[in-house]
Amino acid sequence: MQHELILRGARIIDPSQNHDGLADVAFANGLVSGFGRGLPAGEETEVREMNGAIVTPGLIDLHTHVYWGGTSLGIDADAFCRQSGVTTSVDTGSAGPGNFAGFRKHVIERSEARILAYLHVSFAGIYGFSKTVMVGESQDMRLMAPREAVAVAEANRDVVVGIKVRVGAHASGEQGIAPLEIALQVAEETGLPLMAHIDEPPPSYEAVLAMLRPGDVLTHAFRPFPNSPVTAQGAVKPAVRQARERGILFDIGHGKGSFAFKTARAMLAGGFQPDTISSDVHALCIDGPAFDQVTTMSKMLCLGMSLTEVVAASTMNAALALKRMEHGSLKVGSLGDATVLAVREGAFDYVDVLGEHMTGDRRITSDGVVLRGRWWHPA
């Protein structure tokens, strides 16, 4: 097979292959077609000299909201991906069974960047989320649509990767944990993993964890008090450690109100890293405090995770959560997606959802994207 594109002489960080070093990576027919030193180029092969720039598998943002125009919180997936180096946006419940067809036809199928989705168990998805209107969709049990959710998930297996539900004082109100009970039934019926949102109590962080199954994802896992995963003394709560032992996955899901430096410092000090790093980017946080995926990755880098760990949490680990191992890797035969990153040194201001500022000494930026085997220029 003749390679169509070769990235030559990159520092390739690919945790799926336990690789961090200089190599070439090649693409053809939308897939990775070669990996190693000195890959041969044909007459029609496009060769891009990386000169030691960092190349990773295409970044996966496990928590986004990209139903642009269909929901008030949606952003444009292609514009976001060009800026942030994300090749796969995973939309987490913007659409439910009542409006998923529109999301698929008008956004997913028209987007150049890849979009996968957790289907909301609520019939209309997240429909009342703006600066002036804030209605928790899980507060009305009449909107819970388990039968319809099963049918839509089964009919869209190519893009639906799991079931989403939001619980907490803001999202489910007086209904408490009941929407999670329904969503778990949908997940069981379809054989799909579940992603649970948690905000302020009730229910408690511990109560939600107790109901999740191995392979399910708790997003907003490093949220501030109340419903923080750490005690007042800064220790990781026993229920959190026990949940990890059972196979529950912990996702950052930064967003507008769900990531605190204080919590993150305590979790990392306790030896508890997130399984996945995600931005939870939407219309109310894309201009801060979340901004994008590489900013969220930068925060975790400056808080003490290594660059390899940060990349793994945005590639291989996200693919594991999705159960789609063709993503998040530069192994030959994997999807032909890659991200070119730079780590710049200096003094950079970061802010969390509580308004705390942190000066970090590094910032990760995206300098280019390969999507479906072709060079996709950044904005």
Q: How far are the Cα atoms of 65, 98, 164 from residue 119, in angstroms, in the given order?
A: 12, 10, 6
Read out DSSP for 168-193?
STTTTGGGTTHHHHHHHHHHHHHT--
Instruction: Phi first, then psi: give them for residue 132, nearest 5 degrees.
Output: -115, -20
Contact 61, 91 (CB under 8 A): no
Per the annotation, does 254 bind a ligand? no
- Computed on alpha carbons and rounded to an integer, the radius of gyration of the chain in Å comes to 20
Tokens standing for residue 299: 């925060």
* 280 annotated as belonging to a binding site for a ligand: yes
19 is in an annotated binding site: no
Structure-block tokens of residue 237: 């709560």
Backbone angles phi, psi at 245, to 5 degrees: -60, -30
The label of the residue with tokens 């890797």 reads: 329
For residue 170, say whether it is annotated as part of any ligand binding site. no
Adjacent-strand bridge partners of 338 = 57, 370
- C-beta of residue 104 within 8 angstroms of C-beta of residue 77: no
63 is in an annotated binding site: yes
**Cα gap 147→153, rounded to integer Å:** 10
- What is the 3 state secondary structure string of 289-357? CCCCHHHHHHHHHHHCCCHHHHHHHCCHHHHHHHCCCCCCCCCCCCECCEEEEEEEEEEEEEECCCCCE
How far apart CA 302 and CA 304 sit, in angstroms, is 5
* Residue ranges at the known binding site for Zn(2+): 63, 65, 164, 197, 220, 280
* Residue ranges at the known binding site: 63, 65, 164, 197, 220, 280
